[in-house]
Structure formats: structure tokens, C-alpha cells
Amino acid sequence: MLRKPLLSLLLSASVLSAACSREEQKPAVLIIDREEADFGELEVGRSSPEQLFTVRNASPSAVESVSVKVEGSGFTITANTCERFLDAGRECEVRVRFSPRLAGPSEARLEVEGAPDVDSAVLKGMGVGYVEVRSLPGGGARVGADGEGWSCDEPCRMPVRKAQVTLRAAPAGIPTWGGACAVVAGGGCSLVMDGTKVVSLEALESLLRWEARRGSHPRSVAVSAGGDIVVLEVGQLQRLSSTGQLRWSVPLSGGVEMALDGASNAYVVDYFGRVTRYDTHGQVLWTSSESVENPNWPELAVSASGNVYVLLSLGNHELARQLELIAISPQAAKRWSLRFNEGQFNYASGLAVNDQGEVYLSGSVFNRNETSGESVFVKSYLRKYSAEGATLWETQDGWDLFAVNAEGATSTLLPNTSQSAGGFTQRWIGANGVTQWTATIPNGPGVVTLQTFASSGTLLVGGHEPLAVGTEFGRGWFAAMNLTTRALGPVTYVEGSTGTGGPVRISDLSLTPAGHVVVTGGFGAVTDQGEGYIRVYDGRVLTGEP
């Protein structure tokens, strides 16, 4: 009676055992004999020796169809036996070659397919291209590659380990390249490293067209419509040709600022606020009679038509201080004046004029706390006046660094003094007094100390590098602002008296009609401390275009 149930129980156990065996059977596994293969460095356009890879079926099941492929560029399969049935425990072979088409690192994967669980191996190699510099102009000229750590001052063949490289000429100048170069901004030679590239540095023009060393720091510079350069220095006013030849020099006493009118007559204001007008030959035409008792540093602005504006400081720093703006005609007659007494101490920050003779004045006002004796800020302002002295508009911000273009738009700069990387914020105020845009340059070449509009409308900005030790000066620098992109253009650094480093101070900037940049200043952080200079740089430094 028990045989049938026992037989049924035994049969059920047999079926269950077979089912469990099928569930425990592992899927087929294809394994490559190594995880990674490095083919090393190889010149672009060449092929490496083959490397052998073994693929093994590491499971008890056969694989009906095995295949391998390379995902990525630079590596190719040259021989392959893994294209058929692969029984359990058996192996097949794949041979791979590295043939870089571009310099730089290459990486791909060798992948095997045909089973649920498959493997892959990483393929690595470094393509090396070569730059062959056939010729250089001599005179200390060198060619180097950005980020490659080499340069040569004679014909050479040097390696490059990236797909694209830019060659630079040194020292800084305007290069003329030959050969495979694609010239890029800044005068570089750009190369796509898909083989050996043959180039030549045919010429290297200096950025500096000429330089004149001075006994002290020039205070002002302006360029005439004909291209002559007029420079105010301690004790003299000079007019130079565009190439630096002296046309004339006149002695003077106490000149602190100079400007030109549209006819290239020069106007110089002295410590006492007296203005002297010189013609284009250096002859005195007149001297104004308005002056102050105590010497100070007055502000001067001259319109294209020869109307003169002088901003004087009256009083002293101990008791009280006022400002007086005086308008003088081209014939030296006083036209009008305005007195500023809006608090105990009135300070000027700047004075400018547009082509219409409208006047821009920036200032600030402070009172003194009677108990502590400390200065208490009252307000700051930027104001625009008509040519007849009527107020046209006013902002509630005062600006030490502002410049006005011929149409009456104002650029103001606020240095980011809290950031060691430099930078500044620029505000553009329309002729109607309304702010049109604001842009921030978060990182700059250094401290910005001046800006000025050229007659062409180009806005020049300059300053100096800060050093790690507080207020010490490094190199001077200048650039043009791109008013479309609101970004600083290529920066040119003014090196010290020995050719490197600082301290270098820039006192003024101007442009010649040919577009060259006139820079004045001195080799010292303090005005009139150390030797001075007048330099003219090729105008291409402002664009970086050769």
C-alpha cells in the first residue's frame, strides 16, 4: 500500500533536484586576460607593434558567437580569432595596434561580446607630434610652446603632446610667422598637431617703438591732431615729434597739469591756479589772472574750442575748505565761476569737459565731529554743468576715476580694493545722466589708477601690479576697454628701468592719430621719486592682432 506514494515522492524529489541544478548553472563568461594596456608614446602618423590579448570562456557553457571591437579612436584590431563558436574553457586571440592621428593622450576600450557577462580592457597611448622651427631672426628672439615647457633660440625640432598648440615669440613683440601657422589673437602661431609641423619666425618687431628717459616723472601728456606729443614735466613743457625728436622746449615754474585744445594749443595750470596758454610753437599767448594764496593741486579741463575750466581749492585742511570752478574764455577773460561750500570740507575728485564745452565735476563733502575731531562723511557727487555754468544733472556717487568722451558719455571705474586679484566695476552714464550699464571685471592685471578717452573714442585704462607687501608697486600696465563686450582688452606690461619687474608708475596715457599708445610715468611708486620715461608702443598691443 505504501509503494505508490513512495514512488511518487521519489519522482518529485528527482524533478526538484533537476530544477535546482538548472538554476545553479552559471551563465557564460568571457574574460580578457588584462584590464589595461599602455602602448606608450608614439609619433603621430606611425603605428606601434601589435599587442596580444587573450579572450577566455570562463564558464562551463559554450558561447555560440564571440566578437570583439574597439570603442574609441587611435587603436585598430589587426588580427582576430574571436569570431566563432568558443567552447567552455577555450581561448581566442586579438591583436591591437596604436596609430595616433593627433598628438596627445588617446584612450579607447577593447570590448568582447557574445555572452551575458563580458569583459573589456582599457587601451592607452600618447601621440607625439613635432614642431620643426626652421628659422628665427636672431637678436635674442625665441620660440616656445604654451604648456609644453620648451623654447629655442635657434632652429630646432621639439615634441608636442597635445592635439593643438600655440607657439609664442619672445621677448614680447609683434611676430611675423611663416609655414604652417594659423595666426591667433596675441600674435601666437596655432598648430593642429596631426603630423610634423614646419614653421619659421620670420621677424619680431618690438612693441616699444621708442623711449625717452627723463630726470623726473612727466605729469601730463597729450597728442596734437598732427601727431606731435606734448609733455609737461617738472620745470618744462616740451613738444616732440611722433618719433621722439624735440621740436621745442620752454621752461616754466610750478606746472601741475596740461591739456590741449582742438587747435593743439597747450594750456598749463600752476600750483596757484594760474593758466598759461602756449601756441603750437611754444610762445606764450596769455596767462590768466585768477589765482589762490595757498598753493595746491588744481584741476584743469580745456574744450576743443579753447574754453578753459579750472577747479581751485580754497582754505585749508584745518579749519575749512571750499572749491571754486572758474570758466575762462579762449581770450583769457573770466566768463563765470561757481563756489562750492556744501559742508566744512569740500574736496575735488576730478574735472572733465566734452566737445560741447559742458563741464563734469566730481567731489565729496565732509564735516568734522566737534567732540572726536574725526571727519564725518556728508555726501559725494558727480555733476554736469552747461558751458554757461547751469546744473544739468547730478548723481549721488562721486568718482575718483571718471572720463568723458566727446559726446558727453561718462565712464566711471571703481577699483575692487578688497580683492588681491585686482579688477574693477565700470559704470557707463549717458550724456543725460542716466546709467546705461554696469559691468564688473572680477580679475584684473592689477590696481587701476587712471582712465582716459582718446579723440578716436578709445578708452584707455592703466595702473600697476600690486606686490605681496601691501602698497608696493610692481610693473605698470595698460589696456583698452572693449565697450561692446565690456571687457578689458589685451594687457601690456611696462617693465622697470632694468627691463624687468617694478616699481613702475603710469602717470598718463594717450593715443597718436596712427593709433600708437603714448605712456608716461616713472620708475618709482611715488611721484617725482626716481627716473621718469616717455614711451610709445605700437598700437597693435591694444588688439593683440599682428
Nearest residue to 283 (alpha-carbon basis) of 245, 334, 248: 248
Which pLDDT score, from 0 to 100, does residue 525 have?
76
Please state the length of the chain. 546
In this structure, whether the domain defined by 30-126 belongs to CATH 2.60.40.10 is answered with: yes
Q: Is 362 helix (H, G, I), strand (E, B) or coil?
A: strand
Residue 310 Cα distances to 297, 313, 327, 362, 383, angstroms? 11, 10, 7, 13, 15
How many angstroms separate the CA atoms of 208 and 173, rounded? 8
Q: Identify whether the C-beta of residue 66 lies closer than 8 Å to the C-beta of residue 153.
A: no
Nearest residue to 160 (alpha-carbon basis) of 194, 184, 135: 194
Which pLDDT score, from 0 to 100, does residue 419 have?
53
Helix, strand and coil content of the chain, in percent to the nearest 5, comes to: 5, 55, 40
Which pLDDT score, from 0 to 100, does residue 417 have?
66
574754453: which residue's cell?
A: 307
How many angstroms separate the CA atoms of 492 and 482, rounded? 15
Q: In the chain, count of helices (H) and strands (E)? A: 1, 45
Q: Give the amino acid at 160.
A: V
CB-based contacts of 318, cutoff 8 Å, min separation 6: none
How many angstroms separate the CA atoms of 266 and 261, rounded? 7
How many angstroms separate the CA atoms of 180 and 196, rounded? 10
Task: Please indicate whether the domains covering 30-126 and 252-398 agree at the CATH topology level.
Answer: no
Q: Identify whether the C-beta of residue 39 lies closer than 8 Å to the C-beta of residue 123.
A: yes
- Cα 10 to chain centroid, rounded: 88
Which pLDDT score, from 0 to 100, does residue 269 have?
95
Q: What superfamily does domain 252-398 belong to in CATH?
A: TolB, C-terminal domain (2.120.10.30)
How many angstroms separate the CA atoms of 192 and 181, rounded? 9
How many angstroms separate the CA atoms of 170 and 175, rounded? 9
Which pLDDT score, from 0 to 100, does residue 330 have?
96
Domain ranges for the chain: 30-126, 134-206, 208-250+401-546, 252-398
| pLDDT of the chain, 546 residues: tens digit per residue | 433 443 344 344 444 444 444 444 556 689 999 999 999 999 999 999 999 999 999 988 899 889 999 999 999 999 999 988 999 999 999 999 999 999 999 999 999 998 888 889 999 999 999 999 999 998 889 999 998 889 999 999 999 999 999 999 988 888 999 999 998 877 899 999 999 999 999 999 888 999 999 988 999 999 999 999 999 999 999 999 999 999 999 999 889 999 999 999 999 999 999 999 999 999 999 999 888 777 788 999 999 999 999 999 998 878 889 999 999 999 999 999 999 999 999 999 999 999 899 999 999 999 999 888 899 999 999 999 999 999 999 998 877 789 999 999 999 998 876 655 678 899 999 999 999 999 988 888 888 999 999 988 999 999 988 865 555 678 899 999 999 999 999 899 998 877 677 789 999 999 999 999 999 999 987 777 789 999 999 998 998 776
